[in-house]
Structure 1
Amino acid sequence: MSGNRQTIDDGILEAAAIWVAKLQSEDATVADREAFDRWVAEHPDHQAAYHELRALWRDLGDVPIPAGRLGELRAQRRRRVGGFVGLCLAAGVAILSLTTPYGDRWRADYYTGVGEVRRITLEDGTEVDLNTDTALVVRYEQNSRTVRLLRGEAFFAVAKNPFRPFVVEDGSISATALGTRYSVGTVSADRAADVQVEEGRVEVEASGNKAILGAGETATIDRQGRLSLAKADVAVGTAWRDGKLVFSRRPLRDVLATLERYRRGRILLLDETAGALEVSGIFDLHDTDDALRVLETSLPLRVMRLSGFMVVVQSR
């Protein structure tokens, strides 16, 4: 039945939560409200979802909260389950957790939280720098050394041992060190899997394709498994190891996606005009709020902080 709270698609609920957050802001424009009216007119479920989440907002005294939290509150308000159903839900949550950051951390030998960067030393002397929200599993056998990258990105300064190959894999890519220093980033919602070589050589394999990278070369694997090679300034790409994020003529959309990886919550870009703006600069990854302030003052942008967990960016 259209508009039924049990059948409204989660994507519609998420969009409705964003509209609630956007329209409660003092920065909402006439154009925003006109766009919202068009969205509501597209389907009866849009209006039903908006009214329900708006009611939740009023229940909380109009305190600004992130869109995702509205969905959680919605679920809490309608939860009426018996003991058996509750156990089933708990089991479902446990299974689902294996695909979340917490599930990856539970399975990992080493991990970092959001915004955390740290260095570890493996049993063979290999040094590993873990970027924000990274998790990995280490499996050392008599004739092999394998690191499974569950999420995130890591830089490896590999201890040489020709009799025990050192391999990093993430399910889409395998990178074998040939005596080297290199980084591997796993695929995520906003980035492709990649390998960046600072020193030495790395043999990369993806979807049956192989390539050997030298210093200053990178390999990127897209979602179709295609392997692309390029030259790059690896020091820039791995500046996070020194607490810095370096951008050279990068579109704002990419810069915001990177900043979002180092903070809790969401950065929502509202228009493509702003997203296409070029950004060059060096930012402290431990202070993404300062980075947002610099972007707002140096570019024709408006940055709205709707809560401690949601930031909206649009053209000024």
Structure 2
Amino acid sequence: MPDRFSQHIDDRIAEEAAGWVARLQSSDATEQDRQEFQLWLKRDAAHRAAYDEFKHLWADLKDVPIPSDRLKKLRMSRRAAVRNIVAIGIIATLSVALYRMGFVDRMRADYYTAIGEVRSITLADGSRVDLNTDSAIVVRYSQGERRIQLLRGEAFFDVARNPERPFVVVDASLKATALGTQYGVRAASDASLGDVRVEQGRVEVTSSRDQVVLEAGGVASLTTQGRLAVTTADVANETAWRSGKLVFSGQPLRDVLATLERYRHGRIMVLDSAAAEQRVSGIFDLNDTDQALQVLEENLPVSVTHLTGLMVVVRSR
């Protein structure tokens, strides 16, 4: 296996390159796929290098001999056995990595965003969808219903009114039916189990155990018991990402850093509770998270250290 597969390839480009390798090797690949691939190659010189790395990687793994029965397994040399174990490990690791990076969801999606990207889409009925960073949706319109499946991340919906065709957003645990409104839905993640936030109008929210109708300013969050906890919030501020801003009001630094991390590649780690509990109020540009970290360091008793391009450490000073 080549050693060339290195850190100089951007995470986003690596995701896209892996997707093209998988798509073009599929028996379902179309001429349109091949044409779009050629356009993708021309957009950035780094695309060709990334694609070649993944293509070589998968070619090497494909050539690894896999024993066909138990007798062959017993006769394999130690070197061949180790090679197979390494290959299987790499396949498993790469599969998990691609899933966690959102590759699987993006392959399934009709619309998606990369890490740090915010995108607005106008749907066929005139409804508008704003996709937050690292988000993906599937659009399924039928004669009697407009259904959006939120695969990952967060989306905000400005729904075109049509009582004859309800507008429904679903994820793995929640269903949100618009009653003529503007509202946001967050899919379950490591940070939460998912929620619905209403800016205007009313939304009917259903879980496996509860059903509530939210008014403007209402938030329904799913609990570990499968119940819906209803609170209120400044939804406009909490969805300011739609205009490229992140707004915080007295929030713990750990939560602020977790939010900033969603808009950049790599990790932000806070090393002590004193730093984590610092309170933050301010407005930041989501397109420049390095500047946001610099502002936090200048205004709080914390130090920010960039260990690598993908690792930032925050501690008390």
Tell me the TM-score normalized by structure 1: 0.71
2:295 aligned counterpart, secondary structure: helix
In the alignment, structure 2 segments of 5+ residues that lack a partner are: 1-60, 67-83
* Whole-Å separation in 1 of the counterparts to 2:258 and 2:179: 32
Aligned residue identity for 1:182: Y
Instruction: Name the CA shift for 1:142/1:99 in 2 (closer, same or farther; >3 Å).
Output: farther
* Whole-Å separation in 1 of the counterparts to 2:142 and 2:294: 49
Instruction: Name the CA shift for 1:174/1:252 in 2 (closer, same or farther; >3 Å).
Output: same
2:188 aligned counterpart, secondary structure: coil
* Whole-Å separation in 1 of the counterparts to 2:95 and 2:304: 37
Q: In the alignment, what sits opposite 1:23?
A: none
Q: In the alignment, what sits opposite 1:235?
A: 236
Instruction: Name the CA shift for 1:299/1:99 in 2 (closer, same or farther; >3 Å).
Output: closer
1:264-309 alpha-carbon deviations (Å, 9 max, x no partner): 0000111111111110000000000000000001000011110111
Aligned residue identity for 1:221: L
Instruction: Name the CA shift for 1:89/1:305 in 2 (closer, same or farther; >3 Å).
Output: closer
* Whole-Å separation in 1 of the counterparts to 2:165 and 2:91: 40
* Whole-Å separation in 1 of the counterparts to 2:217 and 2:293: 30
* Whole-Å separation in 2 of the counterparts to 1:297 and 1:91: 44
The equivalent position to 2:65 in structure 1, one of 58, 61, 83, is: 83
CA contact (8 A) 2:209 2:227 kept: no
In the alignment, structure 1 segments of 5+ residues that lack a partner are: 1-78
CA contact (8 A) 2:264 2:289 kept: yes
Q: In the alignment, what sits opposite 1:135?
A: 136
Cα drift, residue 99 of structure 1? 5.6
1:46-98 alpha-carbon deviations (Å, 9 max, x no partner): xxxxxxxxxxxxxxxxxxxxxxxxxxxxxxxxx9x933248866765686445
Find out whether 1:292 has 2:296 as its counterpart. Answer: no
Identity of aligned residues (%): 57
Match runs of 1:240-259 below 5 Å? 240-259=241-260
Q: In the alignment, what sits opposite 2:303?
A: 302
Query: Aligned-pair RMSD on alpha carbons?
Result: 1.9
Q: In the alignment, what sits opposite 1:159?
A: 160
CA contact (8 A) 2:209 2:226 kept: no
Tell me the TM-score normalized by structure 2: 0.71
Number of corresponding residues: 237
Instruction: Name the CA shift for 1:99/1:261 in 2 (closer, same or farther; >3 Å).
Output: closer
1:230-250 alpha-carbon deviations (Å, 9 max, x no partner): 111111011000000000000
* Whole-Å separation in 1 of the counterparts to 2:88 and 2:250: 50
2:256 aligned counterpart, secondary structure: helix
Cα drift, residue 112 of structure 1? 0.2
Which consecutive segments of 4 or more residues in structure 1 shift more than 6 A?
none
* Whole-Å separation in 2 of the counterparts to 1:192 and 1:254: 16
Aligned residue identity for 1:143: G
